[in-house]
Structure 1
């Protein structure tokens, strides 16, 4: 399973970055009403359970998560791969918009294969935007790093967790959030 996905990811990574179509920031990815489609940051005191998510090169374990609408879950996310990976909770449309932002981060040297240039994250992109990756529904991790997200789910489906580093989503680094 992993070998063919790695080959596909390598092909995407070796393509010209312009082939992915660098674009402006999509409002569908973060802030306001779009994030509310999938939930909101949760409180530690409301956590009903903890789910450990391991990120490998280019898949997650587990590959699917079941939740209840209104449930608050603590995710302990660890990057077990050799490349930078992301765990991002959103809809397919949110991921598509975020992939454009991640492409800009890669083009500007913020994401560098197996490391993150944290100084570059502070770079001013205009209109008060930076390349900070600090949304409450997402973590971006170097190999060996781990971090937690506490999230309260809303809605009734069409939610995924995904890695939006260029080429990773396309190679299959995406999982479903199922509501029960």
Structure 2
């Protein structure tokens, strides 16, 4: 019990520091010059996203409106499984004091993974165009412990 409580306290304390460190907040725009084909409203609660899975057509430009109804800060990151894992690794290194340059293309694996940070009670917008290929894409919150608690979902590219 004592160990569980300590882990919970550390997670809460580190969440605020990590989520704000270099992550964009407010309105992040990717492919903003393209017209929006679809708008998807997302809810980020305490360790979950709703909806939990998406079907999106390749090449479709989607505007994500993410509202954090929980008590913890979250991020919303889109990328393939390898890029998400690399980002989680970087976030764990930040938690242990390793630091990371999150500016200009150094987010995730350097491929410019679209992402926003969303404070409790706040909303953020992200515009993203789905790739034409049939790669496996997921959305996630990679703040330490959040992905492992269920804050992820698949984006199924169907055309």
Tell me whether the two structures share a fold, i.e. TM-score over 0.5: yes
Deviations 1:74-119, CA, capped at 9 Å, x for gaps: 00111111111111001111111101221233334xxxxxxxxxxx
1:151 aligns with: 128
1:150-175 residue CA offsets vs partner (Å, 9 max, x unmatched) = 10011214110001000111111111
| TM-score normalised by the chain length of structure 1 | 0.62
* Count of equivalent residues: 130
User: 2:82 — aligned with what?
Assistant: 93
1:12/1:99 CA distance change after superposition, 3 Å: farther
Contact 2:47 2:146 (C-alpha < 8 Å) held by counterparts? yes
Report if the CA contact (8 A) 1:77-1:148 is conserved. Answer: yes
- Aligned equivalent of 1:130: 101
SS at match of 2:155: strand
Q: CA contact under 8 A between 2:79 and 2:113: conserved in structure 1?
A: no
Task: Give the structure-2-normalised TM-score.
Answer: 0.70
Secondary structure at 1:53 match in 2: strand
Alpha carbons 2:56, 2:156 under 8 Å: kept: yes
* Residue 40 (structure 2) pairs with residue 63 (structure 1): no
CA distance in 1, matches of 2:84, 2:116: 13
Distance (Å, rounded) in 2 between the aligned partners of 1:62 and 1:78: 12
CA contact (8 A) 1:81 1:143 kept: yes
Structure 1 stretches of 5 or more lacking a match? 1-6, 15-39, 109-124
Q: 1:161 aligns with which of 139, 142, 146?
A: 139
